[in-house]
Amino acid sequence: MRDAVRLVLDVSEREHGERLDRLISARITGVSRSFAQSLMKSGDVLVNDQPAKPAYRVRTGDRIVVLLPPAEPPTELEPVYLPIPVLYEDEDIIVFDKPPGLVTHPAPGHEQDTLVNALKAIRPDLQLRPSDRPGIVHRLDKDTSGLIVVAKHEAARLSLLKQWQGRSVIKRYVALVHGVVEPDEGTIEAPIGRDPRDRKRMAVVPGGRPAVTHFRVIERFRSATLVELELVTGRTHQIRVHMAFIGHPVVGDDVYGRRPFVVPVPRQFLHATYLRFTLPSTGKPIELETPLPRDLKDVLDALRAREGVAA
């Protein structure tokens, strides 16, 4: 039987007064607050050699010992049949129109029912690495819908990866954001990194990775604005972070802009609507577009009926 992993954390002045469970989840990658709390209940967290409760407020100089259970060996990817529309397919790639609520690849808490589980079911002969993310070059957040490209073999994956990393891919999204956005178009250029107050979130921070987002207003309402966004870079949660940074968080975003809204919103209003890139084998450009799904159209219809467009 493999031994537990022993980690030692020293509390800095900046962390003084932080809840113990929050500090552990922020400092240890892959450990959630709920998992940290379960470790404390089982006696696997000590503060200055004494058991402690999740709500304990740490002090500068505290020495925290965390015993993590050994990692389980990776399991074989389970094929799961899911109704995901395929918008384009050739010998190199598949382009899906991802519905909301679907995780791109397996992760803690989402081991099955992901896009790659569905890929394994419909294309079981694909042999790609890494095995838990076969063919994945980019991803969409769970509650973001729209276009996502998957490679069918390693050469295609490397070709697509080069394009994504080289920023030659045109990626456009549509979002409904809080407030009336001015001017009609603009560019947000602000570095993004881990939020120092909550390591599970991203934020605009000094020394973060460069991030650039172009926006264009499509339609204004009294309480919100429908915008098209084009990503130059592809940082984690980039659109959500940048729009919140300029004071216009995405409607329905419970992480970066939790605000009440005038009509019911089923999820964050963000849809990957357009992609332009080069096909791996032929080198020819391809453009793909998908309209807003029904749930987001219903939000716009309700909003127009309630308040109309802004003057």
Phi, psi torsion values for 34, nearest 5 degrees: -65, -40
Distance, in Å, from the CA atom of 241 to the CA atom of 208, rounded to the nearest integer, reads 12
Domains, the chain:
5-68 (3.10.290.10), 75-166 (3.30.2350.10), 168-311 (3.30.2350.10)
What is residue 13's predicted lDDT score, i.e. its pLDDT? 83
Residue 188: half-sphere exposure toward Cβ, Cα within 13 Å: 26
> What is the pTM for the complete model shown?
0.74
Question: Pairing relation of β-strands 270-278 and 145-151?
Answer: parallel
What is residue 2's predicted lDDT score, i.e. its pLDDT? 46
What is residue 310's predicted lDDT score, i.e. its pLDDT? 55
Distance, in Å, from the CA atom of 263 to the CA atom of 307, rounded to the nearest integer, reads 10
What is residue 122's predicted lDDT score, i.e. its pLDDT? 83
What is residue 135's predicted lDDT score, i.e. its pLDDT? 76
What is residue 29's predicted lDDT score, i.e. its pLDDT? 66
What is residue 202's predicted lDDT score, i.e. its pLDDT? 93
Q: Which residues are bridge partners to 271 per DSSP?
A: 145, 174
The low-confidence residues of the chain, meaning pLDDT below 50, are 1-2, 73-74, 130
Active site residues: 141
Kindly write down the DSSP assignment for every residue of 97-138, as one continuous string.
EEPTT-BSS-BTTBSSSBHHHHHHHH-TT---SSTTSTTBSS
